[in-house]
Amino acid sequence: MYKPMLAVMTVAFCIALTACGGSKAVAQANGTCGKQLTDLQTALNTGAMTQDEYNRSREEALKNCYHNN
């Protein structure tokens, strides 16, 4: 129960940073690109974000992953 809640809180924090223009910090906050994508999927599955929010966040995460590698 604790781990999914932590993942949702992490994603919410990252989305808040994205809204503030901190998109580079989003990629760094979650460590790896795979972890960030997993956290986004968890947030979608638990209802913490809508499908539209997930799509936008996933697209941004993928851009950051490709840009940073």
Q: pLDDT band at residue 37, thresholds of 50, 70 and 90?
A: very high
- The one-character DSSP state at 52 is H
Q: Are 26 and 18 in contact (CB under 8 A)?
A: yes
Instruction: Say if residue 24's pLDDT is above 70.
Output: no
pLDDT at 54: 96
Domain boundaries, given as residue ranges, for the chain: 2-68
**59 pLDDT exceeds 50?**
yes
